[in-house]
Amino acid sequence: PKVSLTGIKPTGEPHLGNYIGAIRPSLELTSAYESIYFVADYHALTSVRSREELASYTRSVAATWLVLGLDPTSTIFYRQSDVPEIFELTWVLSCVTGKGLMNRAHAYKAARDRNAEAGVPDLDAGINMGLFNYPILMAVDILIMNADVVPVGQDQSQHVEYAADIAGSFNHLFGDVFSLKIPEVVLPAGSSAKVLPGIDGRKMSKSYRNTIPLFAPEKQLRKLVRGIVSDSTPLADPKDPDSSAAFVLLENFATPETIKEMRGRLEQGGTGWGEVKNALFETLNDWLSPLRERYTELIAPDSELDGILAAGAERARDRARPVLAGVRRAIGISHL
């Protein structure tokens, strides 16, 4: 069967954007694809600077996958850092990747733009080599597992495309080691869902601190949903649902009937954003509150999480080893 692969970086509590962009589509693909999903903890090291945070966010991301339905017996599920083959191959592919390609990568360019906006004279100030090399490590995640499809949010699609470029460079120099298939980006269905907005209306992102964590306690969830930006159009006035972050969020989680009904009333001018937020809170809470207890059990230090990830790492390494061996033979380093 074809392989579906994706990863999530443990840089914060997993949020609704991660769910819509990656987790939901990934879980949907498990019935038709062989699935390989992981916690990209060494990717998080480009920004996380606290061992407690890295450790706890790693548990949060792993527990979230499991609670939302990932079955670790059918899916290969692991921590990236437990698969050393990935890091050896990252060095090899760094040596065949043009620096110019990395100069054009979105995350690096965005970091430079932030410096420019802040008036920092050296545009590379504060940017570490991990951030710069980030797309190479991500290409390896994809290539070492021979992925066919990569379900991600739109912000990651350039990185997935880079994997094909990098594999092509290697093959051009050393022969057809990587299969020439181009890993296909799978974006979430529905146009409004490609980039889920956060509570300030911008893209929901850990770096904007505008996220709604999936497993926020009920009180916090209510507070966050109430705090979603909205304009002050009077209740009786017609409104454009698509201009509202609260409505776009509701659209991604509620039933088609609820969405249709709410849209109709907003457009006619029979209700306000407060009601949209109430409906969103109820929808999210009804879905997530039965799962909170299991989540709390799994993130506890002595839970079965570690055993599950260790077993997954063994399976991941079994797949990675022959790929790395083929690369080593192709480049002339084959003494193993």
Q: How many residues bind ligand TYM (CB under 6 A)?
A: 26
Apex 252 CA angle, 246 and 258, nearest 5: 80
Which residue stretch of 136-144, 239-247, 255-263, 268-276 sits at the interface with ligand TYM (rule: CB under 6 A)? 136-144
Please give the structure tokens belonging to residue 47.
């920004």
Among 138, 212, 262, 320, binds ligand TYM (CB under 6 A): 138
Segments in the chain forming alpha helices (H): 16-18, 24-29, 41-44, 51-67, 84-94, 99-103, 106-117, 129-143, 157-174, 218-226, 245-253, 256-268, 273-299, 305-331
Which residue stretch of 5-13, 91-99, 235-243, 325-333 sits at the interface with ligand TYM (rule: CB under 6 A)? 5-13
CB of 40 to ligand TYM, least distance (A): 4
CB 66 within 8 A of CB 120: no
Residue nearest to ligand TYM (CB): 21
Which residue stretch of 7-15, 109-117, 258-266, 268-276 sits at the interface with ligand TYM (rule: CB under 6 A)? 7-15
Q: Which parts of 10-39 interact with ligand TYM (CB under 6 A)? A: 17-18, 20-22
10 Å CB burial of residue 211 (0-12, 13-18, 19+) is buried
Cα–Cα dist 61/51, whole Å: 15
For 35, list phi and psi in degrees, rounded to 5: -115, 140
Q: Are strands 3-8 and 76-79 parallel, antiparallel or unpaired?
A: unpaired
Per-residue mark of binding to ligand TYM, 179-208 (x: CB under 6 A): ----------------xx------xxx---
For ligand TYM, the closer of residues 13 and 239 by Cβ is 13
3-state secondary structure of 244: coil
Cα–Cα dist 149/302, whole Å: 34
CB of 88 to ligand TYM, least distance (A): 16
Q: Which parts of 35-94 interact with ligand TYM (CB under 6 A)? A: 40, 43
For ligand TYM, the closer of residues 40 and 62 by Cβ is 40
For ligand TYM, the closer of residues 6 and 283 by Cβ is 6
For ligand TYM, the closer of residues 164 and 239 by Cβ is 164
Q: Which stretches of the chain bind ligand TYM, using CB under 6 A?
A: 5-9, 17-18, 20-22, 40, 43, 138, 141-142, 150, 152-153, 155-156, 159, 195-196, 203-205
